[in-house]
Amino acid sequence: GENVEQHPSTLSVQEGDSAVIKCTYSDSASNYFPWYKQELGKRPQLIIDIRSNVGEKKDQRIAVTLNKTAKHFSLHITETQPEDSAVYFCAASHWGISGTYKYIFGTGTRLKVLA
């Protein structure tokens, strides 16, 4: 079945450095790719998303890139801060014309930003 692979599972960076998390999806029909940040005991919160007709999107320190041909997309966080520490999930989604719906999360990356 469809799946989304996410790497790495854990990532430690020094404060001020950049962090990159990568996801690969299998369903070529996927057309929407959100990234969520989930702090311990809290809800997943959308931090950035990208649609299949766009190759890159940036919002302040956060950016996402999409390579549809290779079926992978990446999250880039620059100038990391301790409050960026959390679990990050990617997801791949699409609504099918026949009424099917897929919203599949990656396995998550635990990011630790060391002060």
Partner 1 sequence: DTEVTQTPKHLVMGMTNKKSLKCEQHMGHRAMYWYKQKAKKPPELMFVYSYEKLSINESVPSRFSPECPNSSLLNLHLHALQPEDSALYLCASSQGFLAGTDTQYFGPGTRLTVL
Q: Which residues bind partner 1 (CB under 8 A)?
A: 32, 34, 36, 42-46, 49, 89, 93, 95, 99-101, 103-108
Nearer to partner 1 by Cβ, of 70 and 97: the residue is 97
Nearer to partner 1 by Cβ, of 87 and 113: the residue is 87
- Output the smallest distance, CB 89 to partner 1, in A: 5
- Output the smallest distance, CB 59 to partner 1, in A: 14
Q: Is the dihedral of CA 101, 45, 106, 61 positive or negative?
A: positive
- Output the smallest distance, CB 97 to partner 1, in A: 10
- Output the smallest distance, CB 60 to partner 1, in A: 18
- Give the pair of three-digit tokens for residue 25: 């999806």
Nearer to partner 1 by Cβ, of 17 and 66: the residue is 66
Of 13, 11, 23, 70, the closest CA to residue 48 belongs to 23
CA distance 55 to 57: 7
CA distance 107 to 9: 8
Write down the number of H helices and E strands in the chain: 0, 11
